[in-house]
Each structure stands twice: as structure tokens, then as C-alpha cells.
Amino acid sequence: MVLIYSLVCLIKMKITNKILEKHGLNLDEFSKIKKILKREPNLLELGIFSAMWNEHCSYKSSRIHLKKLPTKGKQVIQGPGENAGVIDIGDDDAIVFKIESHNHPSYIEPYQGAATGVGGILRDVFTMGARPIALLNSIHFGDPRHPKTKSLLNGVVSGIGGYGNCIGIPTVAGETKFDETYNENILVNAMAVGHTKKNKIFYSKAKGLNKSVVYVGSKTGRDGIHGASMASAEFDENSEEKKPTVQVGDPFTEKLLMEACLELMKDSSIISIQDMGAAGLTSSSVEMASKGSLGIELDLEKVPCREENMTPYEMMLSESQERMLIILEDDKEKAAKKIFDKWDLDFVVIGKTTDTNNLTLKFNNKVEGEIPIDALASKAPIYDRKWVRKKTQRDKVNLKKLKKIKIEDALVKILSSPNQSNKSWITNQYDQMVMCNTAQMSGSDAAIIRIHNKDKAIAVSVDSSANYCKSFPLSGGKQIVCENWRNLISVGAKPLAITNCLNFGNPENEEIMGEFAECLEGIKEACEFLNYPVVSGNVSFYNGTNKKNISPTPVIGGVGLINKLSKPLDLILKNKKSNLFVIGKTFGHLEQSTYFKEIYSINEGMPPEVNLINEKNNGECLLKLIDKNLISSAHDISTGGLIIALAEMSINSHLGVKIKKPKRLTNLINYFFGEDQARYIVEIENKNLRNAEKIMLENNIFYENIGFTQENYFEIEGEMKIEVKELFKINNEWYNSY
């Protein structure tokens, strides 16, 4: 297909239905294009409209819903609309962060797809003037028994680790999940976090007339052409044919580009800067001009190319990696070029800003394309697609009719399952300590990154919960925000803001669009109540193959602040004979639980209720306990319920626990495996017990003493007793046999 485009790009030709289909445009959109241009577009112009009007770039099906999200707060410096979000953490320090998807490319070419996903999100961060300090990821694969899963898993993990390790940014946290809904469409979401000073934030808005538009970084190739359009369409049986649309990354060049850009940012040379991500030179130039209400003129014969005879079509739509577009102040070119020459990178003036409000494309002294900027950006189509609410099944599963299973047997089966098993074989492939600021790595509820030369730190976590969102999207949206909130609080951080990556199926399907709308409503409610604004994000639609869509999978990446980092709090039990408390009430909700799924293959019923008042009160109370140094360890209770959370604490610390039988809830399965929300397990030493209980009483939260720590054995009074080392073995056996 690329060859055809190369041959006909500069030839005046009739636009056929087949060509429109290849570009992901419908007849109605084509009519709008002709009306805007007052003529029929040439192929170059059609390709540019295709790139800017697809879902990946225009958010045409999601914009009306995204506008409802809370994006402001005292801590917010920059919300959605820039390359990344920015929050204030005090002392003139700012944190820049964002999460994005690279789902389709990673399914087609797992190593390069995942690697370039990491590279792209890093550029979003250092484009804002921040030095990246951490990487995270959320990756979802099909059933482990599916013939493609193992190779996809190995390729993606290698790609993430390969790129991050080579560029020297620690990959500190993430999640890996398996479910048959991702058999033909995996999810690879990458998050990057950077640190800068508040007065050193850079933006993409173009300013001034006749300013130099400079191309920097790697040369342009034919890789990644129509990558953005490919990401805005479902897969079919011919998905393998789309390999040429997958970009090829080079982390060593990205390292050079990052250092060169950060060096240039030390003075006042840059007016605006934009990463060449999805849609490449097209999106970067259009976005810069649109934000500045300017035009932009590009001389495409000046674009550095690594392949011969590249056409304007290919140059504008290539998604070759490690490239930036910069608008410079007058008389700054020479000094800027010197920097990029030092780092052995291309630095070429390829155009200028204009007052035309058009994107003007020249090639060999001839205008090959001219399009109004607004038509590509602010006035791109917006669809208010029809959607229907999810019909939820409110009938509870009758536990009495199910085959009885011992607590110990259920615990063993869940701990040895792919989703619950130890994932250190993945995280060990990532360099988590490079830069020497990682205070707490993956394995706890959140990773902790020390702010260089400061006593403070940030906590970061990513979370998703597709089964809750599939069952009841409104509740699922709230729940995943709350889980992320709890993960940050569990390490002693005050949650500040989130970024989200919203992975859904085909938005033209009313039910799927309903899942999206309701999930967004749930996210909105939780974020508003918790003062936890959304500062950046990404929407990934059309995740499916042959009309079979993935379950709705919104991923939340959260950032929290630890003002004084003395000793990081984690889930590792510290002492023998410490008291174990549960903060939050246990009701024993089993519908949509890991217990039902792993033990009985049941995915029925409603997810647990999300009480935002309890979430806020319980979380804030725990922060007070942590601030007073009354807590030795903490862990939020989520997937698998109370017993799985306890087992994780025990396994990671190699200490046992002895848990009392509950007095309130006599059904032990419900009590130990129920997934009620707003709960934490905390370890409290005897010397701190009185003061801790006083604070919990003063804050009017529900809590209960459930037992104590001990040596060697994981024990429930009168029900089960198993050696901790055996639990450790069970938790590691799935990967060893996979």
C-alpha cells in the first residue's frame, strides 16, 4: 500500500470509495472536506485529513464526554490539551506526567510496538521541559493458553525493558493481567513521569510571524505511515499485513534527543516545541499552529529523509520515531544548531510561521497542499454517538448451590493463578534503580521516587479493573479511581492528580459507547469527590477483532506527594506479634470477585458498592496515622479480598500471621474473599496501639482488630495453617511452569 501511495502521491487522481476506505474516511466526511476546500482534495491533502480526523488524533467520539471530567485544582499547572499534564508539588518543583496506549502496534509487532510506546510517552514528558524520572506500564494479554499469548507477552516485556533500560529511565511500577477478552487485541499502556521547575515548563503553542520552524532528531523514513489511522480501526484476519504501519524505535537516539532538547531549554531560545508522535509531522505542525491561531508553511524537500525518493505524502504521514518540531526565537538558530550538532542530530529549518491560518506544503518550489488549520484541529468532526446504558444483573449468585471448597484450597488456587501470581519475572527485566532516586520499587501498592536532592518524594501507581467496568460501568469507573487513590495512600502519599488511558471497543456500537460514557461518569464522580483531577490522558477505541471487542478497560495512573521521606511505607510486615487491623467495613461482597472467577469461572452479578464518603474518610484517616508514625506497614484490600492482601503481605515479608475468626460475618468465604471497597490492612505495634485507636475513633471510621503477626505460619484460627515458605512457592509456581 505504501508503494502505491509513493507512486501516486503527486499525481492528480480521482478519489475513489476504496481510497477513502483505506484512509478511514466515510462519504459524509469526504463531502465535508470538499466543502472546506471548495474543491476535491489531492491524495496528500486527503492523507492529512485522514490523520487528523481519526479517533486517535481528533477524539471525535470522546470529546463531548471528556469535557465533563474535572481538570482543575490548586495543584494543577497544566491540564489536558498539552503534551502532558503538570502539577505543583511545592518549592517551585513541578511533576509532568501522562499515560498513552500503543495497543494496535504492540499486537502486530510486540517488541517494536511496546518499545516505541515507551519512547513516545517519554517525548511527551521531556517536550514539556521535564527530565523523565520514572516509567510505568499497564499491560493486558489474552488467556495464557491462547497460542499467541506467550510470544506477545515476551515481546512486549522485552520491548518495554529494552527501551527504558537503554535510555536510562527506571521502570518502577505497573500491572500485568490476563483475560480471554484480550486474545486478539492486547493492551499496552505506557506512563512517564518527569520533574522540572515551574518556570521551566515549555508549551506547544506557536507565537509570532515568520519564526523558524525547525526539524530536529532522527531522519524520516517510511515506517509508521498510517499508524494513527491503523490505531483507529478494528483488526480483522489481515491484521498481520499492517506491520509496515508499526514504528521502529531507537532508544540511544532518543537519549541524545532528550539531552539536546533539555540543554536547549536552559535558555530562552524556544517559543514552542512539539513531539512528532501520532501522525508525525502532520499533527505536530498542525497542533502548534492551531494553538497559536497561526498558519505554518513547510518546505518538504528540506525534511531529512533516510530513504530515497520519499514523497510529500510519506514525509507528512511517517511516524518515524525520535523527532521533534521546534519554533525558535529570532537569531537563535546558530546557537541551537550547535547544540544538536554536538549531539549528532539533524537540525534543519524546514519552514516558518505565517498569518494565513493555513497549512501550506511546498515541494520543489510548488505548493502541493493547502488546508485551513482550523479544519484539521479545532473544527475537526465531533460525534455525539448514540449510546445505551448497561443492563446490569442485580441477582446475587447463590453461594449455597456451589460446590464447597476449603479456604486453604481456594487461597492456593488463587495465589497460583496467572493474574495473582508473583510477577517479579517481569519486573526483574526492567532497570528500576537507574538514576538512583527509586526509594521503593514495584511490589508494593505504589512506587516511590525521591525528588533529587530533596527530602520529599512522589508516589506513582497504575490500576485497571475491566470486570467491574464490564458488569456496571458507572461503578467500575468510580472503583478504579478509588483503588488508585488507595494505592498512593497506602505508601503515605497524598494523592494529587491522575492521568487516564481509556481502552474501549468500537464506539459506533451503542452498547460500547454506553460503557464509555458511563465509565467516564464514574471517573468524574470519584475524581470530583476526592479532589483528584485529570490532567492528561488518552482514548483508545476500536480495540477488537472481527467485531469482538475487549472489555472496557480504563487505566488510571496516579501521582501523590510525600512531603518528608524518612522511611518509605510498604506492605512488608516488620515485626513479630504486631497487631493487624482492617480499616473499613467488610460486608463480604463476592459478585465479580476473583474468588468466583478463579474457583467457579463465574462472571455474574454486580461489582461491590463504591462509597466515596468512606473512601475519603478512611484514606485521610490512614494518612494521619502514617504522619504520626503509628503504622509499620499498610496494604489496600482489592483483588481477591482480605485473605489475598494478607497473603501478599506475608509472602513479601516472610512473616506469618494469625487471624481470628470474624464475629460479625460468620460466612468465612464472604469475609475473607469478598472485595468490599475502601479498606486497608495496617500493622500496628503494641506501643502505638492506644494512640492509633484514638485517632481512628476521633475520625469516626470503622476498624477492627483481626489478629497479629507471627513467625513461619499463615494461619486462620481453627480453619487453616500453612507455612509461609509454602505460600511463597505456590505464588511463584505459575511462571515456572509456563
Q: State the catalytic residues.
A: 56, 102
Q: For the chain, what is the largest distance between any 2 Cα atoms, rounded to a whole number of angstroms?
A: 86
Q: How far is the C-alpha of 119 from the C-alpha of 192, rounded, in Å?
A: 10
Q: Which three cell numbers stand for residue 367?
A: 505548493
Q: Which three cell numbers stand for residue 269?
A: 531560545
Per DSSP bridges, beta strands 131-141 and 171-178 are: parallel
Structure letter (DSSP) for residue 495: E
Question: How many residues make up the chain in this entry?
Answer: 738
Q: How far is the C-alpha of 704 from the C-alpha of 581, rounded, in Å?
A: 6
For residue 495, count CB atoms less than 10 angstroms from its CB and return exposed for 0-12, middle for 13-18, buried for 19 or more: buried
Provide the 10 A C-beta neighbour count for residue 574: 14
Per DSSP bridges, beta strands 85-88 and 93-101 are: antiparallel
For residue 698, count CB atoms less than 10 angstroms from its CB and return exposed for 0-12, middle for 13-18, buried for 19 or more: exposed
Q: Which three cell numbers stand for residue 19?
A: 481510497
Q: How far is the C-alpha of 145 from the C-alpha of 504, rounded, in Å?
A: 23
Q: Which residues of 579-593 are buried (b: 16+ CB within 10 A; e: fewer)?
A: bbbbbbbbebbbbbb
Q: How far is the C-alpha of 717 from the C-alpha of 651, rounded, in Å?
A: 19
Give the closest residue to 440 by CA, choosing from 577, 163, 634, 628. Answer: 634
Contact (CB, 8 A) for 218 and 251? no
Provide the 10 A C-beta neighbour count for residue 646: 25
Q: Could you tell me where the beta strands, DSSP code E, fall in 337-415?
A: 346-354, 358-363, 366-372
371 Cα distance to chain centroid: 33
Q: In the structure, how many helices (H) and strands (E) does the chain have?
A: 26, 28
Q: How far is the C-alpha of 620 from the C-alpha of 648, rounded, in Å?
A: 23
Give the CA count within 13 Å in the CB-facing half-sphere of 577: 2
Structure letter (DSSP) for residue 220: B
Structure letter (DSSP) for residue 452: T
Q: How far is the C-alpha of 212 from the C-alpha of 327, rounded, in Å?
A: 6
Contact (CB, 8 A) for 360 and 367? yes
Q: How far is the C-alpha of 647 from the C-alpha of 488, rounded, in Å?
A: 20
Q: How far is the C-alpha of 718 from the C-alpha of 439, rounded, in Å?
A: 39
Structure letter (DSSP) for residue 109: S
Give the CA count within 13 Å in the CB-facing half-sphere of 150: 6
Q: Which three cell numbers stand for residue 229?
A: 489511522
Contact (CB, 8 A) for 143 and 150? no
Indicate the helix (H) or strand (E) that contains 631.
none
Q: How far is the C-alpha of 345 from the C-alpha of 255, rounded, in Å?
A: 11
Contact (CB, 8 A) for 711 and 576? yes
Could you tell me the end-to-end alpha-carbon distance of the chain, in angstroms, rounded to an integer? 39
